[in-house]
Structure 1
Amino acid sequence: MVGGTAYGVYALVGNAGDGGAGDRATTNRAATAAKGSGPVTEKEAAATAKAFLAAWAAGDEATAAALTNNAQAAQTAVADYRAKAMVSKAVITPGATEGASVPFKVEAEVAHEGTAKPLVYDSRLTVVRGTESGKPLVDWQPSVIHPQLQKDEKLRAGTPASPPVKAVDRNGKELTPEQYPSLRPVLDSLRKTYGEKTGGTPGVELWIEPAAQDAPRRSLLTLVEGKPGEIRTVLDADVQAAAEKAVAQHPEASVVAVQPSTGDILAVANHRRDGFNAAMQGRRAPGSTMKIVTAAMLLEKGLVAADRPADCPQSVSWDGKVFHNLNNFSLKGQPFSTSFAKSCNTAFIGLIDEVHDNAALPRTAKEAFGIGLDWKTGIPSQDGSVPVTSGPAAAAEYIGQGAIQMNPLNVASITATARTGVFRQPVLVKASLDGRALAAAPRALAPGVSAQLVKMMKQAAGPGGTAAGAMSSVGGSDKGAKTGSAEVDGAAAPDSWFTGFRGDVAAAAMVEGGGHGGDSAGPIVATVLNAS
């Protein structure tokens, strides 16, 4: 007996045989394969995959593990599949070999105390040549066992510590992962944080145990229904639906919408292969969307004014590094608002010597925009970082490059602060639910700065501005935006960033490797703003 149920029948079907002598012969041949060299051949990949799957199907974790390049991790995972994930039956069907990769289908059954539910999924494995043995071996990854497993994660079944929750939006509409797929990590986090506080009772489930202790478990299958407690979020189901649809148009895309007057998060959506909530937990350079903060700092110091002429040469040099504008454009005799609207790098970096304080930008980001103030949104989130640096790195921060790390939530909040002049910490659930203390910025923006930032963002969204194309579809005249493109070492294309507002909604989006901000991230923000 394992996990309260007898171990049932595993069987390998398809090209690998019927689970009998043929499978054992395949396994034996693979285990004694001769040492080779060079890339793994398709024939070697097929034979090794068949042998591994046959051993897994037979519940022979030792033999299966010996056919991988990480025997210890593989043996534990294969053994736990039966013992700790409570998989009582499994039929594994290999597909056609594709070079060194072999897809396969798993049709399993998870059983607990007389209750059984089917578990069906597709996965794949890759065969590589052992660095020491020279033999073809399965390149061990947790995703071989289940495609949603990531590094150091495990499959587990039983009664979870946190009861299920029924999350609803600000108007009482239920939010389910089936209807809003990218909310799954958000809903999992809400369950971990508030499950025991909402009066629910746990059932029996199969879940993914995360590697990090503070990360939420991700439920895969419910065997016995628990009683969910209700938790009200400040999300807006209609805006969320638009956000889901918008990010689905681009790979590795994320977006957040917030309400500037309250800090309420209206939508959070991701479209990513890894399921990571990059919209709230990502750490990437935000590119020229950071110019909103840099402009605020320069305005407060009196070094620029929206209507005052500002230099915008083709290039400027700081501490030995030359910084250019896109396509080396320049502006002559134009006001600073035009440099902002056209995203002139040199108009910003060219003033670093007059600022004469590398801590000025990080200080403005923290004290006026709340960046780095330990936000407590209701679920895990990153509150951004603008560290004090020196030399060319300090200049790069003026245009959102270098050591700055942010996510769409941070940038949407920056736009919200620019819009109102006051930082209001974003929240997914009201602080009154659990009495947590929200982050508070030490000060508001200086008088008149918010109005100038709004004016410049409106100009950027109008004719001649870098955000004009994306914002042309956004209704109304009370709208503004800022584009951003962030270079990433080793990447073929920069990250695409875009932030904008319409009325009392601010949104920001990021598409990894998406190119210019207006091309990929811009339409995402426009769609979300139009839904609000």
Structure 2
Amino acid sequence: MAALVGWRGQHMRGESGVPVTRSVKIGIVGAVFTAMVGVAGFGAYNIYTGLNAGDGLRTPAVRTQASDAPPASAAPLSAKEIARTAQEFLAAWSAGDTTGAAALTDAPYTASTALTAYASGAHVDSVKAVPGAATPGGERFTVTAHLSYGGQNSTWTYASSLTVTRDSTGDPAVAWSSAVLNPELGDGDVLLTGTQDTADVEVTDRAGNELTGDRYPSLTRIIADLKQRYADQLPSGTPAVGTWVHKADGSDGPMLHVLRKGAGVRLRTTLDSAVQSAAEKAVAGKDQAGVTAVDTRSGAVLAIAYSPAEGVDWALMEDSAPGSTFKIVTAAALLDSGMTPSSTAPCKADDNYANGRMYHNDSPTLHRADATLAWDFAMSCNTGFIRQAGRLGAHGLKTAAARFGLTQEWSVGTPTLDGRPTMPSSSAPDELTSEMIGQGELRMSPLVMASVAATAASGDFHQPLLVDRSLVAGPVATAPGLSSRVSQGLRQMMRDAITTGTAHGVMGRFGPDSGAKTGSAELAGQDTTNGWFTAYAGRVAAAAVVHDAGHGNTSAGPIVAAVLAAG
């Protein structure tokens, strides 16, 4: 392959003569690298410092492709041999002598192909590679590459390194790998310079702070989804011109060098970075845990976090019974039926309704003959609730659920488990009593239960949204909300759960504008219940689940409390 003296890389243009964009890069790669079919190990590049090459370098001898034959000499290389070979390679590369530089490696053909591809694909028209500090068997060096593309000229300086070995003839030679050209290149990767397909989309919180998966691991999937989902609906920006790695698998890595900055566009979400940080910290290290927070006045989603962050999104996609946290909806139905928080609702250790399924409480000592609905709610007495099933009839619970928006499809702005539970029928009394205490066929997520707490706190249902309503294509649910009487009764009972009930230990520090409900949900095949907890404080409502964790007040409760404190 002929040497490229002075290295003037051809500009990558289409038939019209204009600079190509990232969208046509695959065709370019095929055209530029036809000669490289079946060849692996295109270069790699670094980004740091080095030393100047010395004078009096030997003229490189032309080498043949390495073979399987044993080396003529197995003697260890001397420091002088290593330094001289490295400097000769870097000098030849800097002179644009790709043939000579490649001949100083243990894979001349592969190296020559990669060096040529580096100049052509990245639009590099000159290189200066300066030796630096010695390394075991090799040398660090600095690359200063001059790039020219689409009328843009730029100098790119970065660091790399190489090692020296013996080739098949026993002579010292640079051990060829993609990392010699640039440390970001893997085998089969190439560098391309061009124009991005689209302008960058920056996803921000409600205050304009950028959100990234590195800082907020639980948002990694969501950020990618939002960019793909809404990029076409945002004001157009100016794509950047730069150099990036086109990987062997056809994907692109991040832009490594910018020739011209683009003007990106912003996608503002409803998230709050402070609340999100608290949520990430609260679930970190837990197994199968998720938490969501919403604004009680608008339904705006403030935080979404789950653990492990690379696993299932337990905050939005949880699909299991919510346990006693659902008693908020059941209590609303009973209040609608004419009960008050002070209405008598005896709590027995074991009980059933209409000779149906027998229920018990979490604690066998939990019973009180003169219990009220408020006491049952605060202490989470199952039997006190199921004995009131006759007040609800066939549709009472479903009617109450509708007031919380739970019988409609939700379009939040990113994929979620929607809020539609399976409601009981008059022919299934055991299903009704099971659902009254958050079991049976009910399926909820922390997002849904955070919304339930928010509706209880404000009296109004606001379907949760992650982005502006104008961007959401699907239906946004509406519901009548709660009467002032029901809303007031729920706030009283949820406050009692903190002051005298099961939520006291974890929520005791919160003031009179707070309320909570604990929950534990039994699931088939699990030895331990899932812990659930939902609460509100001021303008923030949150809910969490922790799988196989037992009581909600000790497992999910601290997560919710930490999120509410940040809000």
**1:417 match: secondary structure:** helix
Match of 1:502?
A: 537
Q: Would the alpha carbon gap of residues 265 and 448 (structure 1) be closer, same or farther in structure 2, given more than 3 Å must change?
A: same
**1:270 match: secondary structure:** strand
| Alignment partners' CA distance in 2, 1:325 and 1:230 | 51
Does the Cα contact within 8 Å between 1:259 and 1:265 map onto a contact in 2? yes
Match of 2:368?
A: 331
State the 1:186 CA deviation: 1.4
| Alignment partners' CA distance in 1, 2:188 and 2:238 | 20
**2:281 match: secondary structure:** helix
Task: Indicate yes or no: 2:391 matched with 1:354.
Answer: yes
Give the counterpart letter for 2:286 in structure 1. H
**1:448 match: secondary structure:** helix
TM-score by length of structure 1 reads 0.66
Q: Would the alpha carbon gap of residues 331 and 164 (structure 1) be closer, same or farther in structure 2, given more than 3 Å must change?
A: farther
State the 1:9 CA deviation: 4.0
Larger mean Cα displacement after TM superposition, 417-426 or 197-206: 197-206
| Alignment partners' CA distance in 1, 2:496 and 2:407 | 29
- Determine which of 300, 310, 332 is the counterpart of 1:296: 332
Task: Indicate yes or no: 2:284 matched with 1:248.
Answer: yes
Q: Would the alpha carbon gap of residues 112 and 404 (structure 1) be closer, same or farther in structure 2, given more than 3 Å must change?
A: same
Gaps of 5+ in 2: 1-25, 42-66, 70-183
Match of 1:222?
A: 254
| Alignment partners' CA distance in 2, 1:163 and 1:278 | 32
Match of 1:109?
A: 186
Match of 1:175?
A: 211
Task: Indicate yes or no: 2:409 matched with 1:374.
Answer: yes
Give the counterpart letter for 2:429 in structure 1. G
Match of 1:151?
A: none
| Alignment partners' CA distance in 1, 2:239 and 2:407 | 36
- Determine which of 443, 446, 459 is the counterpart of 1:421: 459
Task: Indicate yes or no: 2:301 matched with 1:265.
Answer: yes
Q: 1:22-69: CA deviations, max 9, x gaps?
A: xxxxxxxxxxxxxxxxxxxxxxxxxxxxxxxxxxxxxxxxxxxxxxxx
Match of 2:172?
A: none
State the 1:160 CA deviation: 10
Does the Cα contact within 8 Å between 1:256 and 1:268 map onto a contact in 2? yes
Match of 1:513?
A: 548
**1:457 match: secondary structure:** helix
Gaps of 5+ in 1: 11-18, 22-106, 117-157, 210-218
| Alignment partners' CA distance in 1, 2:252 and 2:347 | 55
**1:496 match: secondary structure:** strand
| Alignment partners' CA distance in 1, 2:263 and 2:554 | 45
**1:290 match: secondary structure:** helix
Q: Would the alpha carbon gap of residues 312 and 109 (structure 1) be closer, same or farther in structure 2, given more than 3 Å must change?
A: same
Does the Cα contact within 8 Å between 1:280 and 1:382 map onto a contact in 2? yes
Residues 13-412 of structure 1: matches in 2 within 5 Å?
A: 109=186, 114-115=191-192, 164-198=200-234, 199-200=236-237, 221-223=253-255, 228-272=264-308, 274-302=310-338, 304-318=339-353, 320-328=356-364, 329-357=366-394, 359-366=395-402, 368-389=403-424, 390-412=428-450
Q: 1:358-401: CA deviations, max 9, x gaps?
A: x32123212x0001322121111222232233232221111111
State the 1:437 CA deviation: 5.1
| Alignment partners' CA distance in 2, 1:415 and 1:341 | 15
TM-score by length of structure 2 reads 0.62
CA RMSD in angstroms comes to: 3.1
**1:476 match: secondary structure:** coil
**1:409 match: secondary structure:** helix
State the 1:496 CA deviation: 0.8
Q: Would the alpha carbon gap of residues 9 and 206 (structure 1) be closer, same or farther in structure 2, given more than 3 Å must change?
A: closer
Does the Cα contact within 8 Å between 2:408 and 2:420 map onto a contact in 1? no
Q: 1:50-91: CA deviations, max 9, x gaps?
A: xxxxxxxxxxxxxxxxxxxxxxxxxxxxxxxxxxxxxxxxxx
Does the Cα contact within 8 Å between 1:206 and 1:222 map onto a contact in 2? no
State the 1:470 CA deviation: 1.2
Does the Cα contact within 8 Å between 2:279 and 2:304 map onto a contact in 1? yes
Q: 1:2-37: CA deviations, max 9, x gaps?
A: 964645548xxxxxxxx989xxxxxxxxxxxxxxxx
State the 1:227 CA deviation: 6.2
Q: Would the alpha carbon gap of residues 321 and 436 (structure 1) be closer, same or farther in structure 2, given more than 3 Å must change?
A: closer
Give the counterpart letter for 1:188 in structure 2. A
Q: Would the alpha carbon gap of residues 395 and 159 (structure 1) be closer, same or farther in structure 2, given more than 3 Å must change?
A: farther
**2:305 match: secondary structure:** strand
| Alignment partners' CA distance in 2, 1:491 and 1:163 | 48
Q: 1:196-220: CA deviations, max 9, x gaps?
A: 222257787889x9xxxxxxxxx99
| Alignment partners' CA distance in 1, 2:245 and 2:386 | 55
Does the Cα contact within 8 Å between 1:186 and 1:277 map onto a contact in 2? no
| Alignment partners' CA distance in 1, 2:556 and 2:252 | 31
| Alignment partners' CA distance in 2, 1:174 and 1:164 | 13
Match of 1:431?
A: 469
Q: Would the alpha carbon gap of residues 327 and 435 (structure 1) be closer, same or farther in structure 2, given more than 3 Å must change?
A: closer
Q: 1:382-422: CA deviations, max 9, x gaps?
A: 22232233232221111111111110010000000011111
Q: Would the alpha carbon gap of residues 316 and 196 (structure 1) be closer, same or farther in structure 2, given more than 3 Å must change?
A: same
Larger Rg computed on CA atoms:
2
**1:280 match: secondary structure:** coil
The count of aligned residue pairs is 383
Task: Indicate yes or no: 2:491 matched with 1:459.
Answer: no
Match of 1:477?
A: 512
- Determine which of 427, 436, 450 is the counterpart of 2:487: 450
Q: Would the alpha carbon gap of residues 271 and 385 (structure 1) be closer, same or farther in structure 2, given more than 3 Å must change?
A: same
| Alignment partners' CA distance in 1, 2:343 and 2:505 | 26
Q: Would the alpha carbon gap of residues 393 and 20 (structure 1) be closer, same or farther in structure 2, given more than 3 Å must change?
A: farther
**2:368 match: secondary structure:** coil
**2:359 match: secondary structure:** strand
**1:451 match: secondary structure:** helix
| Alignment partners' CA distance in 2, 1:306 and 1:234 | 35
| Alignment partners' CA distance in 1, 2:533 and 2:449 | 9
State the 1:507 CA deviation: 0.5
Match of 1:528?
A: 563
Does the Cα contact within 8 Å between 1:235 and 1:267 map onto a contact in 2? yes
Does the Cα contact within 8 Å between 1:159 and 1:205 map onto a contact in 2? no
Percent identical pairs in the alignment equals 40
